[in-house]
């Protein structure tokens, strides 16, 4: 009888997905959840988006976008296709598949903070029913799905693999990257049981070109961490190489360009003022925390994290040296930071190293302002606040600063205007010619 119930629930779910009658519930409508909701809407599914931010819900239901690289017309088309946003968790009973896309930050002690994930699951559970699929996309440590989500489902009498189906499928969004989109980025999926994996593959194959199954949710969780730790470690390496090259008076960007001509065995990574975004600065700590439970010390990963964390202070030292060479101190100097988003051509400021640079400069007595076409007004942040608006770049405004510090290399900046009018440029992105008399590479 149990096998029959299992078969009925799974077959009904697979049929609804295959025939595109299923309702897809997306919980968390940010940089990950919103593109996924739009993807399913574009494939003809009814999509229920749930977010606790009432402002986001209202904007979506008006057909408006709150993410710069997603156009309002795309939202309006999804609304016409059946996308509905809500803050009412009781509506999850309507959904056949529930996909969790919420943040997984760190605590003040650099340990995993699963409060958003656990809070979301606890809000879903009273309204879940047999026959539903639950997928977690939030980056986390290996074991989260089995140790935190599965027991909560089964405590409610929902037998995983029989009544409901549980998978982990890590997000792989790259906001602002025009070369890759939700549909074309291969999707990893691991299930709690074979039946769960079958359901998860059926869900994602409706909207993603390539879905890659792995043997377990733990393997899927570790896959995501490996991807991001790979980047963090290699960025740490190239940042250390930058410091060495600087001491030897060698242009590290010239070296990287030359090394990249090798057609095998080398992948180009580029230095910067530190790590930013919600993934690369945070995810390695999820693995180092979990590894300690197995008596392991992740020395290599933590060393890379230390190097990357020290980069803002190294950049500020370069600013101070550049000013000293002109008989100026940091204190009292007017400094313009170019670009405060965490990466090129986006408005996302999560963990942005530019903000760390601004804090360090302000602490040393500098008068700090910024210019960023993607961030017209400095937003309210939990740990940082500047009562500032973006400065328009003109010959007069650029000439008025003692230093222009390039932190994030947006395409919209007129770099020739900056080079011609700034008296001193500190360049953390290798944009300006290093032999220019007013340019210092950092």
In a domain, 230, yes or no: no
For residue 262, the tally of other CB atoms under 10 A from its CB is 10
| Domain end among 151, 180, 215 | 215
Q: What is the pLDDT of residues 51-106, one digit of tens each?
A: 999 999 999 999 999 998 899 999 999 999 999 999 999 999 999 999 999 999 99
DSSP 100-132: E-----B-TTS-B--HHHHHHHHHHGGG--TT-
In a domain, 250, yes or no: no
In a domain, 307, yes or no: yes
How many residues in the chain?
A: 442
For residue 345, the tally of other CB atoms under 10 A from its CB is 19
Task: Name the β-bridge partners of 402.
Answer: none
pLDDT at 6: 54
Task: Name the β-bridge partners of 47.
Answer: 24
Is residue 366 within 8 Å of 379, Cβ to Cβ? no
Domain co-membership, 68 together with 138: yes
Q: What is the pLDDT of residues 354-364, one digit of tens each?
A: 999 999 999 99
Is 196 marked active-site? Answer: no
In a domain, 224, yes or no: no
In a domain, 309, yes or no: yes
Instruction: Exactly one of 101, 189, 196, 279 is catalytic; name it.
Output: 279
Asked if pLDDT for residue 2 goes beyond 60, the answer is no
Q: What is the pLDDT of residues 388-405, one digit of tens each?
A: 999 999 999 999 999 999
| Domain end among 180, 215, 250 | 215
Is residue 401 within 8 Å of 334, Cβ to Cβ? yes
Task: Name the residue among 178, 114, 110, 175 with its Cα closest to residue 145.
Answer: 114
Distances (CA, A) of 67 to 111, 281, 309: 29, 22, 28
d(CA 341, CA 90): 36
3-state secondary structure of 97: strand
* pTM for the predicted model, two decimal places: 0.92
Q: Which domain holds residue 95?
A: 2-215
In a domain, 228, yes or no: no
Domain containing residue 284: CATH number = 3.40.50.720
């Amino acid at each position: 009888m149990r096998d029959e119930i299992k078969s009925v629930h799974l077959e009904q779910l697979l049929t609804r997905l295959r025939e595109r009658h299923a309702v897809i519930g997306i919980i968390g409508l940010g940089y990950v959840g919103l593109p996924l909701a739009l993807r399913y809407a574009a494939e003809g599914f009814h999509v229920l988006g749930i977010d606790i931010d009432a402002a986001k819900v209202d904007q979506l239901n008006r057909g408006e976008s709150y993410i710069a690289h997603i156009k309002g017309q795309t939202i309006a088309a999804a609304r016409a296709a059946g996308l509905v946003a809500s803050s009412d968790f009781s509506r999850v009973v309507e959904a056949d598949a529930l996909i969790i896309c919420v943040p997984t930050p760190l605590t003040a002690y650099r340990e995993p903070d699963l409060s958003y994930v656990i809070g979301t699951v606890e809000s879903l559970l009273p309204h879940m029913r047999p026959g539903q699929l639950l997928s977690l996309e939030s980056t986390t440590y290996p074991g989260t799905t089995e140790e935190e989500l599965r027991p909560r489902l089964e405590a409610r009498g929902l037998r995983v693999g029989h009544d409901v189906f549980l998978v982990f499928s890590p997000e792989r969004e790259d906001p602002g990257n025009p070369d890759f989109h939700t549909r074309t980025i291969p999707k990893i999926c691991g299930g709690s049981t074979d039946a769960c994996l079958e359901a998860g593959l059926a869900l994602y194959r409706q909207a993603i070109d390539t879905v890659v199954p792995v043997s377990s949710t733990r393997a899927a969780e570790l896959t995501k961490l490996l991807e991001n730790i790979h980047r963090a470690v290699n960025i740490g390496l190239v940042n250390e190489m930058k410091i060495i090259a600087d001491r030897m008076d060698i242009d590290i960007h010239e070296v990287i360009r030359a090394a990249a001509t090798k057609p095998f065995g080398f992948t180009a990574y580029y230095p910067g003022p530190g790590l930013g975004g919600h993934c690369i600065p945070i995810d390695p700590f999820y693995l180092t925390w979990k590894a300690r439970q197995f008596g392991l010390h992740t020395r290599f990963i933590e060393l890379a994290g230390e190097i990357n964390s020290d980069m803002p202070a190294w950049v500020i030292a370069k600013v101070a040296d550049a000013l000293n060479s002109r008989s100026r101190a940091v204190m009292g100097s007017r400094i313009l930071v170019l670009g405060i988003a965490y990466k090129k051509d986006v408005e996302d400021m999560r963990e942005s190293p530019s903000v760390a640079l601004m804090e360090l400069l302000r602490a040393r007595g500098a008068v700090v302002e910024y210019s960023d076409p993607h961030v017209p007004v400095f937003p309210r942040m939990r740990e940082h606040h500047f009562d500032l608006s973006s400065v328009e770049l003109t010959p007069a405004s650029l000439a008025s600063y003692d230093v222009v510090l390039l932190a994030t290399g947006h395409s919209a900046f007129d770099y020739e205007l900056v080079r011609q009018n700034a008296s001193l440029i500190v360049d953390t992105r290798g944009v300006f010619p290093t032999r220019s008399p007013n340019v210092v590479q950092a």
